[in-house]
């Protein structure tokens, strides 16, 4: 017995000795020398995926986060505890820096070499780690140590894992895929506390995704595979106010709202009631200063028109309500797009309305339009967004907006937003009152979506209004008159009042 204890203690000491060597870590110079180029060959992708890696004593260590991305696994990192969790369907694969033991749910496996950490990133001995987790992930892989390639094997499945995350007023369900589905391929409905998601053309491993383990709002996941589609049912434990589906290149996201973004229950405490009151309105006159916006044939500029409408709207609100009304600019000054939403958030804005005038190469085009943040696909949407986003050329650091042009960034901003439904509601109210007050036609139909940089980041319902076309001679003449600009201000004023009345019901 004593000999066994000695052997056991010696083993523990060896583990801690190995761990201590790795915890010391190499110097930054050594780390640079050991950096290794490793790529993952992904099926149906012409571009290999780079895996951050380095070599030490002949062993390749790869970033756990990059491995998770390559295998379409969910990923969560706890920097404080130096712990990363990979999610494969219902399974959690837990890796801790400098600890040779990894957990797959309740099963324990020992790595030959301990995971290490550099710059808050955990690296694992790639070949050995892949061999262990292959039995627990839908997307299989082989690590070629000679060619330094992570080869992702062809899989009969294109749906791999489900992630569940929380947001301010609800939850996000993310279904990881290895292809991009069309919006028309997805159907989502809620009945008797079950969220049912049908994915036409989806192929899943039912045994990997099924779980009765409670995760946030989900008590159970039941997946079904049919001949031409996959069907995933989520048993929910909270009431859902609304839901929406967003499509990305390698995931399907279902956004679930569990409480109204603005209205709260009658029984809420007084401080909470005040929190949800629509008491601060942010008015954003488009362009300004060194960026004039579009220019009419008579020389009148968009920045002049939008500022005058904004000032008129501010006076209407202050005269007829007790609202706090703030302008992102109250003179002919330049303000960056990011600064505008930062100003709105900093000042506790509850509504954000960006005012603009439209323009088109076709000078016969006319009418007003309303817009919310979205991934605009039509030529018209792209044209309007490009025009309004062109202001970044006049900013000191236009490169700061590089990620904004990515469709995935915009979709993520929408999915994580608590206010998309309210934004659309406000835009619809503006359409109604603009038509009634200005008597000019609506450009197109309904509410449009496009990737307006000025709307990204505003933590409140936010819309952009194109009041009329400066490029149209008739509407330019209207926009030059104070009377017509007053009509636009009145339309916006009536829309804000209607929105406030609707969403403050029940607050008390």
- What is the C-alpha end-to-end distance of the chain, expressed in Å? 73
Check whether 475 has a pLDDT greater than 90. Answer: yes
Q: What percent of the chain stands above pLDDT 90?
A: 24
Domain assignment present for residue 221? The answer is yes
Check whether 507 has a pLDDT greater than 70. Answer: no
The pLDDT tens digits for 234-292 are 999 988 888 888 888 778 889 888 865 554 444 444 445 556 688 899 999 988 888 78
Q: What is the pLDDT of residue 213?
A: 76
Supply 372's token pair: 């919310």
* Residues 242 and 311 occupy one common structural domain: no
The per-residue pLDDT of the chain, averaged, comes to 78
* Residues 181 and 146 occupy one common structural domain: no
> Which DSSP category does 440 fall into?
P
For range 414-438, the mean pLDDT: 83
β-pairing verdict for 149-152 and 159-167: unpaired
For range 43-68, the mean pLDDT: 81
Domain assignment present for residue 10? The answer is no
Max CA-CA distance within the chain?
99
* Residues 145 and 169 occupy one common structural domain: no
User: pLDDT class for 487, splitting at 50, 70, 90?
Assistant: very high
The pLDDT tens digits for 33-46 are 466 777 766 665 66
| pTM of the predicted model as reported, rounded to 2 decimal places | 0.54
Q: What is the pLDDT of residue 292?
A: 86
Q: What is the pLDDT of residue 8?
A: 43
In sequence order, which residues have a C-beta less than 8 Å from that of residue 33 and are 6 or more positions away? Answer: none
Rounded to the nearest 5°, which phi and psi values hold at 119? 50, 45
Place of tokens 């062109």: 390
Cα separation, 440 vs 428, in Å, equals 16
* Residues 165 and 136 occupy one common structural domain: no
Cβ neighbour number for residue 400 with a 10 Å cutoff:
13
Identify the weakest region by mean pLDDT among 17-26, 234-243, 338-347, 427-436. Answer: 17-26
The pLDDT tens digits for 82-94 are 889 887 766 788 9
Domain assignment present for residue 12? The answer is no
Nearest CA to 455 among 304, 364, 342, 329? 342
Q: Give yes or no for a contact between 164 and 414, defined as CB atoms under 8 angstroms apart.
A: no
Nearest CA to 309 among 95, 498, 482? 482
> Which DSSP category does 289 fall into?
T
Check whether 28 has a pLDDT greater than 60. Answer: no
User: pLDDT class for 140, splitting at 50, 70, 90?
Assistant: confident
* Residues 314 and 351 occupy one common structural domain: yes
Q: What is the pLDDT of residue 146?
A: 82
Output the CA torsion 442→445→446→452 (10° steps). -80
Supply 101's token pair: 């033991």
Q: What is the pLDDT of residue 467?
A: 92
Among 257, 286, 317, residue at a domain's last position: 257
Please give the residue that has the higher pLDDT: either 333 or 2: 333
Q: Say how far residue 272 (Cα) sits from the centre of its chain.
A: 26
Check whether 400 has a pLDDT greater than 60. Answer: no
Cα separation, 204 vs 201, in Å, equals 10
Domain assignment present for residue 6? The answer is no
Q: What is the pLDDT of residue 32?
A: 41
* Residues 196 and 218 occupy one common structural domain: yes
Rounded to the nearest 5°, which phi and psi values hold at 46? -80, -20
Supply 437's token pair: 């007050």
Q: Give the containing element (helix H, strand E) for 312.
A: helix 302-320
Range of the domain at 358: 270-503
Domain assignment present for residue 330? The answer is yes
* Residues 214 and 133 occupy one common structural domain: no
* Residues 231 and 140 occupy one common structural domain: no
For range 141-155, the mean pLDDT: 80
Domain assignment present for residue 9? The answer is no
Place of tokens 């940089």: 453
CATH number at residue 249: 2.60.40.3500
For range 496-504, the mean pLDDT: 89
* Residues 122 and 248 occupy one common structural domain: no
Listed in sequence order, the DSSP H helices in 331-472 are 337-346, 379-389, 407-415, 420-438
* Residues 350 and 499 occupy one common structural domain: yes
Can you list the positions of beta strands (E) in 134-260? 141-144, 149-152, 159-167, 170-177, 186-191, 194-200, 218-225, 229-236, 242-248, 251-257
For range 293-305, the mean pLDDT: 91
* Residues 305 and 386 occupy one common structural domain: yes
> Which DSSP category does 441 fall into?
P
For range 190-206, the mean pLDDT: 88
Domain count, the chain: 3
Q: What percent of the chain stands above pLDDT 70?
A: 77
CATH number at residue 131: 3.30.457.10
Q: What is the DSSP string of 143-154?
A: EETTTTEEEEPP
β-pairing verdict for 369-373 and 448-450: parallel
Cα separation, 2 vs 231, in Å, equals 57
Q: Give yes or no for a contact between 112 and 228, defined as CB atoms under 8 angstroms apart.
A: no
* Residues 365 and 230 occupy one common structural domain: no
For range 104-112, the mean pLDDT: 85
Q: What is the pLDDT of residue 273?
A: 53
β-pairing verdict for 351-358 and 280-285: parallel
């Amino acid at each position: 017995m004593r000999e066994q204890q000695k052997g056991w203690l010696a083993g523990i000491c060896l583990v801690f000795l190995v761990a201590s060597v790795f915890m010391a870590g190499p110097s930054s110079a050594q780390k640079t020398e050991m950096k290794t180029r490793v790529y993952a060959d992904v099926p149906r992708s012409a571009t290999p995926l780079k895996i951050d890696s380095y070599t030490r004593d002949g062993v390749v260590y790869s970033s756990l986060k990059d491995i998770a991305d390559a295998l379409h696994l969910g990923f969560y990192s706890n920097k404080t505890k130096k712990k990363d969790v990979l999610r494969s369907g219902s399974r959690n694969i837990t890796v801790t820096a400098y600890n040779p033991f990894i957990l797959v749910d309740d099963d324990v496996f020992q790595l030959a070499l301990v995971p290490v950490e550099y710059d808050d990133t955990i690296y694992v001995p790639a070949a050995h780690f892949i061999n262990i987790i292959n039995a627990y992930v839908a997307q299989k892989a082989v690590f070629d140590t000679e060619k330094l390639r992570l080869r992702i094997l062809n899989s009969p499945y294109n749906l791999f894992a489900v992630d569940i995350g929380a947001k301010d007023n609800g939850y996000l369900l993310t279904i990881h895929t290895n292809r991009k589905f069309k919006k028309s391929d997805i159907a989502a409905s809620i009945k008797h506390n079950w969220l049912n998601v049908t994915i036409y053309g989806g192929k899943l491993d039912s045994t990997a995704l099924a779980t009765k383990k409670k995760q946030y709002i989900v008590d159970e996941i039941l997946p079904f595979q049919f001949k031409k589609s996959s069907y995933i049912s989520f048993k929910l434990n909270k009431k859902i106010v609304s839901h929406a589906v967003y499509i990305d290149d390698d995931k399907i996201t279902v956004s679930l709202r569990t409480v109204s973004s603005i209205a709260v229950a009658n029984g809420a405490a007084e401080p909470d009631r005040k929190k949800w009151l629509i008491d601060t309105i942010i008015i954003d006159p488009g362009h300004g200063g060194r960026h004039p916006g579009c220019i009419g044939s008579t020389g009148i500029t968009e920045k002049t028109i939008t500022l005058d409408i904004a000032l008129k709207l501010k006076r209407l609100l202050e005269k007829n309500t007790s609202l706090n009304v703030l302008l992102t600019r109250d003179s002919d000054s330049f303000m960056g797009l990011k600064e505008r939403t930062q100003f709105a958030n900093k000042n506790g804005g509850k509504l954000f309305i960006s005012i603009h005038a439209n323009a088109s190469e076709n000078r016969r085009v006319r009418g007003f339009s309303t817009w919310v943040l979205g991934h605009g696909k039509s030529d018209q949407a792209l044209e309007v967004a490009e025009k309004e986003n062109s202001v970044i050329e006049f900013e000191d650091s236009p490169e700061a907006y590089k990620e904004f042009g990515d469709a995935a960034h915009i979709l993520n901003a929408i999915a994580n937003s608590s206010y998309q439904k309210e934004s659309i509601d406000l835009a619809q109210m503006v359409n109604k009152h603009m038509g009634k007050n200005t008597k000019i036609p609506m450009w197109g139909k309904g509410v449009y979506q496009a990737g307006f940089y000025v709307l990204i980041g505003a933590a409140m319902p936010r819309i952009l209004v194109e009041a009329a076309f400066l490029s149209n001679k008739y509407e330019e003449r209207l926009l030059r008159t104070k009377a017509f600009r007053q009509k636009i201000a009145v339309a916006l004023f009536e829309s804000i009042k209607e929105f406030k009345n609707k969403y403050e019901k029940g607050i008390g």
